[in-house]
Structure 1
C-alpha cells in the first residue's frame, strides 16, 4: 500500500524549496529566454530545450479559446504552470507564432536531477546497484534450430542484468550512477513527470482544491499531454540526441518482413513500460501456443480431406441408386417441393471435412491444450515478474488515484482507514440510480443482440422459400449434385448479414458503454476499467457468439416432424438442418464471423490512424517555412488513449473464444487465429511505433482481470465442445449404428443413411403444409428416428432414438470428466512458478541484502571514525540483522 503521508511530505518539501530558490534573476531568464534563442540553429529532430542540454520529458499543448471560458482557462494554465515550477520542473514555452499551424502553444517540460531522485523514491522505482552474476537461461539444443527467428543479442538484451533496489536519495552512492543525464531511462522520466502532472493543483474552485492534468484535458484547458518519442522511426538519431530506441524497435519489431522473428520484449518494456510490454509478451506466447493447436487442427482437416471420397455416408447420398431414389419431404410449407437426397451430395462431402472421427480427438485435445496454455502462461508470467523486477510490485499508483470526475461530483468526505486522511466519498444511495440505469442499458443491448439474431433467423426463413422455389422448381426431382442447396445459400447470406449487424451493434455499444461507465462515477481508474471490461465483455460475448450458440444447440433440435412442425411466432416453420447435420452450417457461421472480424480489425487498426494522421498533418502544414519540430510531429500523431490496451486485450480474448468454444466444428480455427496473430503483432508494433504518440510508461505484473476471463472461457469450452460433438455433429449416431444396428459385417456403415431417415406418408400432410402439385409417390423421408406410418406407434420416437440420446449424454459426461481430470492433474503437476525462478529470486534477494548490508557498514565505519570498539558492536548488530533476513528467505 502506498505511504501517502510520505508522498505528501515530499510534495510539500518540493513546493517549499522551489519557492525559496526561484529568484527574480531566474524568473527574468525564463521571460527573456526567447530573445536569446536563434530558431535556425535548432534541428527539427532535437528533443532538447533551446540550450541543447535539458532533455524534453513531457509536452503540453493548447490553443487559445476565444469562444468559451477563455479567461478561466488561461488563469488555470498560469496557476498550473506556476505550481509545476514550484515542484522543481523546468518549463519552456513555444509561442504559437513559431508553430506550423500558427495557433498552437507548446509547453515543454524537463525534470532535473533533484526532481527525479525525489520522486523515484516516492514511487519506489528500482534502480541497479550491481551487475548480476546470475547467468541468463541457456539455449536448449533444439533452440539452435530456431536460429533464424532469433534477434541479435544486442537487440534482445539491450542492457545487462542488474541486482536492483528501491531508489533512495540518501543512498545515491550505492547505485551505479555513471551519468545523471542517462541514469533514469526515458520511460521512468516520463512516468515521474506524469505523476507530478496528475497531482499538481491549478486553483480552488467552488471551495474545492482542483488538481491534475486529466481534469485540465477534460475541460480543454490543454488539448494534449504526451511524452516525446526519442527520434524518428526511419533513421537513427545523431548526437547529441540519445540512442534512438524507436528506430531500433521499428527495424527489428515493426517491419512486416520480420513476421517470423521473435519480439524484442525487453526493449519494448524499456520504451513503453511494463503494462504494454506484458501485453505483447502475452500475445506472443498465445501465438506460439496456437502453433501446436494449428498443426493438430490442420492434420485433422487433412485426414477429413483424404477420407472424404471413401466416406460411406456421402457415397450413399451421392449414389443415384441410393440417394437419388430417396424423396425428401419439403423444407417449407406449400411453395417448397419434394427433393432428392443426392442433390446435397457436395454438401455432404464438405461436411465430412469437419465431421469425422478426428472431431472427437480434436475436441479432447483442445480441452487439454487450453489447460496447458493457461498453466504455462502462469509460469511465463512468473518468469517475467523476475526478469522485469516486478516480484514485489504493488498496484500502480495511477491506477489507485482518484478520478477527477469522481472528486468533482463528490459532496461528502470520509476518513480513509489506511491513509488516515479525509478523502472524497460518495454514498451508495447516490450511485444506485446510475447502477440501475447501467444494468438496464446492458440488458437492453444484449436483448437487442438477441432480437437482431431472431430477425436474421426470420430473414433466413423468409427467403428460404424463394431460394427453394427458384433452385428446385425444375431440378428438385432430377438426379443433380449441387453445393448451393437452399440451406447453404441462406446460411451464407444469413451469416454475412449477421456479421454486418454484429459490427454495427458493436460500434454503437462501445460509445454507450463508455458513457454509462462514466455516469457510474467510478472512484479510481482501476474501478473504471474493471466496470467497462465487464460491460464490454458481456456484450461482446452475446454479440459475437449468440448466432454460433443458436446454430450449435438450437437449430434443428425442435423442428417436430412432417404434419406436426413447430412454428416461430405461429408463422414461420422452424429451421431444419441439412441431412448431414448442422455442423457444416456452424462451420460456415464461425468462419465468416471469425475471419471477417479479424480482417476488419486489422484493416481498421492500420488505416484509421494512418488516415487521421495524414489529415491532421495536412491541416497543420500551413507554414512550410517554419521548423516542423519533434514536439509538433508527435502532436500530429494519433493518441493511443488510456483504453487503447483495453481494446487490444478485448480483441484477443474474443478470438480466444472462437478458438476454444466452437473449435470442434472447425479444426482450422487455430490456424486462422495463428495467421491473424502473426499479422496482428506487426500491425500493433507498426502503429505504436509510427502512428501513435508515445504512451506514458506504467507498470503491471499480470494481464489482470483478463486472466480470470480466460479461465472461465476455458472451463466453458469443455462443455460447449462436448455438446457440439454430441448434438451438432453426426458422429454419435454413426457410432451407435456401427456398434448396435449395422447388419453388414464387412462394411458396417453400409445402410446408415437409410437408417437415419424416417418415413412419412404424404397423405398425412395437413392441407396448409403440403405442396400444391400432386406427385405419384406416396411417402417422403425426413431426418429423425421415428416409427413408420404403418406401425401402431405411428410417428413416435423409436427405440434407436433413445439409444442415440443415451449415447450422447454418456459421451458428454465421459468427455467432460476425462478432460477435467486431465486439467486438474496438469494444473497440479505444473507449478505456477518454475523452480529455477524461485532459486533466482532467492539468490537476488540474498545478494541485495548483502550489498545493502556492506554499504551500511562502510558508511557506519566512515561516520564512527577510529572508534573500533563502537564499530565492532555495530558490525555485530548489523550482521545479526543480515542473518535474520537470510533465514527468512
Structure 2
C-alpha cells in the first residue's frame, strides 16, 4: 500500500526505492535475485562513465567486496547489510553492480551518490566555504620578470581554473545567497567525496559485545569490504566525453605529471581542487623548498668550482705530493703487526680531493647556509599565510579536526566524559588504560634506536676488521716507492663501510615502519591528528638516528680519541680506533654523506615509480579474464594502488630527512643542495605521475599548514648551525691551518709553507711495543703521526704541546663566534620579515568587510520581503474577515 501511494505521488522515486529495497538484501541472498534483473550491456554505457545506470546521478564513492563462498561468513553479510541500510537512512543513494558484470567475475561494487539534501546538510556540518560573489581584488603577480620567466609559466586557465570568489560557510537557510547555477556541479568532486567519506567513517554497522561498531575503516580492516575510494574523473590520457564532467585528471596529467614539464610551475589551484587542501599543501611546500634550493645550489656549486680551480695552488697538497717533502716523510703503521710503514705522498690524490671540500669557501658556505635556512623558513611562513587566504583557510583551525574523533577510538571506549568545548558527552579512555601502551611504545622506540646504534658499532667493527686487510696490501712496499693512489686504506674502508651502512639503514627502516604503525594504533589516539603526531614523533626520531648516526660518528668522533703510537686506544680491547686520513676526516664525511644521501634519493624514486607500476600491471593482468565484459570506470580505479592515509606522511618524512642532509652536514659537502635540487625536480613529477596515474584518488582533506613538520624543520635549522660550526672547527683542517698561518709560520712569502711537517709529530720507533710493531723490520729510526705532541727528546715527550692548546682554543673561539654571528643574523632576518605579508592582511580585511556587507544586505532584503509578505497576508486576512462580516450583515 505504501509503495502504491508513493508511486502515485512520485513514480520515479518509488521505482528507485523499490530498487534500493531489492538491493538491501544480503550479498549472498541478493546475488541470486540480481541475476534475474536485466544484464548490464556493454553498449548501454561508456566504460569511462562516472554515473549510475540512469546516467543522471554522479558516483561520489565506491565500495567493493568479493563474495567468496569458501571464505565468506554470515557475520560479514550481516555487517554489509546493516551498513548499507544505515547509509540509506542518512540519505545516500546506493546502486550495486553484480559480480557477473565485473571483469574478474568475483567482485561486487557498491556505487554511492550523495543527493543535494545530503550535500547541503553535511556541507553545513563540516563548515565548507562556498562562493557568494566574485572577488573584486586582483590576483597578485608573483614574479616581476614575466618576459624572462614566461617559459616556466602555465596557461592561465590551467593555473587558475576558476575565478576568485568571496566565500562564506555554507548554510541551508541561506541557499539563495550562494552562486548556485547548477546543483550537480555546485559542490566540487573533492568536497563531495569528503562529505561521503565523513558519513562512511561514522556510519554504524552493528553492535558486538555491547560495543557499537562504526566506520568504513573497521569494515576494511575486517575484510568485510575490500576497498573504498572516490572515482577519478576519467582516463588520464584523454579528456572526458559528455555527459561526464570536465576531466581534471587529464588536465593535471598533461600540465603537471609529465616529465617533459619538469621546468614548469605547478597548477596548485587545480591540485587543490582535485586532491584537496592537504595534498595541495604538500606540493606547495615541496615546490617552494625546491625553488629555495636553487639559490643554495648555485652558491654551493660556486664554492665547489672555487675549490676545483684552486686545487693546484693548495700548499698542503703540493707538499704532500712533493717527492722531496711528502715522499721523504715516513708515516707510522696504520694497524698493528700486519701494517707496514708508508710514505706520506702515497695519499697525494686523496689530499687533492679533500681540498675540494676543505678550503676557504667552506666557512663562507657554512655561514651562508645558516642564513639560508632562516630565509627559507621565514619566506615559507609568508607563502603559507598567502595560501591560507587564497584557499579559504584563514578561519580554519586545527581544533575543528581535534573535535573529530577517530572511529576506532569511539568503538574502543566504554566511558563517557563531558567535552569542555562542545559541552557534550563524548567517548573517553582513562589514562590508566593507555599507560601500558605508552610504556610499550617508548620502550620499542628506545630499543630500535639502540639497535641502530648497535648496527653502527657493528659497521665500525667491520671497518676496523677489514682496515688491516686493506692496509696490508695497499700500504705495502709499493707505497714506500712513491706510488700515488686515491684509494688509500682509509678511503677504501670508508667506501665499503658506507655502502654496508646504507644497506643496513634500508633494512632497519623497512621493519621499523611496520612496527611503529602497529604500536601507534595500539595507543588508541583520540583523533587523526593525534595519531599522525604520535607516528611522526616515532618515525622521525628513529630515522634521525638511523640516517644521521654514522655521519655524526665520522664528523665528531672518528679520529678524535686515537691516542698515539705505543699508546693507542682500542675498541673492546681488540681493535685499534680508526684514524683519519692525513688530510682530515672531512673527505670521509663527504663520502659517507654522498653515498647515503644519493642512495636514499635514487632508491626512493625508483621505489615510488616502479613499485606501484608493477603492482598495477600485475593486478590488471589478473583481473582482465573476461575481455568481453565492460571494464568500467570503478573497476579501472579498483585495480590501482591505494595511496592510504599515511601516504602523505611518508612523503613529508622523506623531504624532511633530505632537509637534514642539506643543512646539518652541508659544510662538508657544498654539492648537497644541488643533489637535493635535482632530486626534488624529479620527485615532484614522480609524485604527480603516481598520484595521477598509479593510485586511486585519495579522499580530499583540509589542512592549513604542514603541521608538526614545521616545528621539526625549525629544530633542525637551529641544530644545523651548531653542527656546521663543529664540522668546520673539528672535522675540517681549516682552523689548524689558520693557527699555523698567523702564529707559527716563518715564511713570509708563503705563510702555509711547512704546515704539513708542522702538523705531524715524531715518534721513536724503538718505543713501539713488540706486540704492535710491524712484523717486517725496517731501517727507520722515527716515524710521523698526525697530532701536536712533543718529540721523544723532550722532557715531556709525547705529551700535547702548546700548539695543540692554541689550536683547541681557536676551534672553540670559532664555534662561539660563528654561532653568535649566524644566530644574530637569523634573529634580525626573522624580525624584519613579517609572518603575514601586508598585502595579504589587506586582502583578508577587504574580504571580511565585503562578506559582512553581503550578509547584511541579504538579511535586510530577506527581512523586507518577509515584512511585505506578512503585510500582504495581513491585508488578505483582513479582507476575508471584512467580507465575512458584510456577508453576515446582509444575511441578517
Conserved 8 A contact 2:417-2:425:
yes
For 2:40 and 2:312, the matched residues in 1 are separated by 81
Measure how far apart 1:517 and its partner are.
1.1
Using the size of structure 1 for normalisation, the TM-score is: 0.94
| Corresponding residue number in structure 1 for 2:853 | 850
1:172 matched to 2:170? The reply is no
1:128 and 2:131 aligned: yes
Counterparts of 1:142-181 in structure 2, within 5 Å, are 142-181=145-184
Q: Superposed, which structure 2 residues align to 1:658-677 within 5 Å?
A: 658-677=661-680
Mapped partners of 2:403, 2:317: distance in 1: 62
The equivalent of 1:365 in structure 2 is 368
Offset at residue 201 of structure 1 (A) = 1.6
SS at match of 1:418: coil
- Per-residue deviation, 1:23: 7.9
**Corresponding residue for residue 278 of structure 1:** 281
| 1:479 aligned partner | 482
Distance 1:29 1:522 in 2: 40
Matched-pair contact (CA < 8 Å) for 2:262–2:685: yes
Give the aligned partner of residue 17 of structure 2: 27
Q: Cα distance, 1:79 vs. partner?
A: 1.2
Q: Which string of whole-angstrom CA distances, capped at 9 and with x for unpartnered residues, describes residues 119-166 of structure 1?
A: 111111111111100001135432331111000000000000000111
1:334–1:772 contact (8 Å) kept in structure 2:
yes
Q: Identify the range of structure 1 (852-861 vs 813-822) with the bigger mean alpha-carbon deviation.
A: 852-861
Q: Secondary structure at the match of 2:771?
A: coil
- Cα displacement (A) at 1:476: 2.2
Structure 2 unaligned regions, length at least 5: 1-5, 24-33, 872-892
Paired with 2:70 and 2:541, the residues of 1 have a C-alpha distance of 42
- CA change 1:400–1:599 in 2 (3 A) is farther
Find out whether 1:267 has 2:257 as its counterpart: no
Structure 1 residue aligned with 2:300:
297
Q: Are 1:347 and 2:350 counterparts?
A: yes
1:750 to 742, 749, 753: 753
Shift of residue 813, structure 1, vs aligned partner: 0.1
Contact 1:400 1:526 in 2 (8 A): no
TM-score norm. by structure 2 comes to 0.94
CA distance in 1, matches of 2:814, 2:304: 22
Are the aligned partners of 1:396 and 1:698 in contact in 2 as well (CA < 8 Å)? no
Q: 2:735 aligns with which of 729, 732, 736?
A: 732
Q: Distance in 2 between matches of 1:631 and 1:115?
A: 22
Q: Which residue of 1 aligns with 2:453?
A: 450
**In the alignment, is residue 406 of structure 1 matched against residue 405 of structure 2?**
no
Cα shift at 1:86: 1.3
1:435-514 equivalences under 5 Å are: 435-514=438-517
After superposition, the C-alpha distances for 1:815-855 in whole angstroms (9 at most, x for unaligned) are 00000000011111100000000000000000111111111
Tell me the distance in 1 between the aligned counterparts of 2:339 and 2:523. Answer: 54
Question: What residue is the counterpart of 2:223 in the other structure?
Answer: 220
Deviation by residue 1:169-217 (Cα, 9 ceiling, x = unmatched): 1111111111111111100111111111111121222223222111111
The 3 A distance-change label for structure 1 pair 23 and 185 is closer
Match of 1:687 in 2: 690
Match of 2:58 in 1: 55
Give the 3-state SS of the residue equivalent to 1:62 in structure 2: strand
Superposed counterparts of 1:624-663, under 5 Å = 624-663=627-666
Q: Is the contact between residue 93 and residue 106 of structure 1 (CA under 8 Å) also seen in structure 2?
A: yes
2:214/2:411 contact within 8 Å kept: no
Q: For residues 446-845 of structure 1, what are the structure 2 equivalents within 5 Å?
A: 446-845=449-848
Q: CA deviation at 1:405?
A: 3.1
Q: Is the 8 A contact 1:199 1:211 kept in 2?
A: yes
Structure 2 residue 356 is matched with structure 1 residue 356: no
Name the SS for the 2:132 alignment partner: strand
Residue by residue over 1:453-494, the C-alpha shift from the partner in whole angstroms, topping out at 9 and shown as x without a partner, is 111111111111111111122212111111011111111000
SS in structure 1 opposite 2:228? strand
> 2 CA distance for matches of 1:506 and 1:751?
48
Q: CA deviation at 1:430?
A: 1.6
For 1:497 and 1:263, how far apart are their aligned partners in 2? 38
Report how far residue 40 of structure 1 moved. 2.6
On the 8 A contact 2:665/2:723 being kept in 1, the answer is yes
Q: Which moved more, 1:174-183 or 1:262-271?
A: 174-183
CA deviation vs aligned residue, 1:424-449 (integer Å, no higher than 9, x gap)? 22221122221111111111111111
Maintained 8 Å contact 2:342/2:476: no
C-alpha displacement of 1:753? 0.3
Change (3 A) 1:866 1:173: closer
Q: Distance in 1 between matches of 2:18 and 2:318?
A: 93
Q: How many residues align?
A: 850
| d(CA) in 2 for partners of 1:170, 1:411 | 37
Question: Is 179-188 or 414-423 further displaced after alignment?
Answer: 414-423
SS at match of 1:364: helix
Distance 2:230 2:717 in 1: 39
Correspondence for 1:334: 337
- Alignment counterpart, residue 95 of structure 1, candidates 93, 98, 101: 98
CA distance in 1, matches of 2:449, 2:398: 33
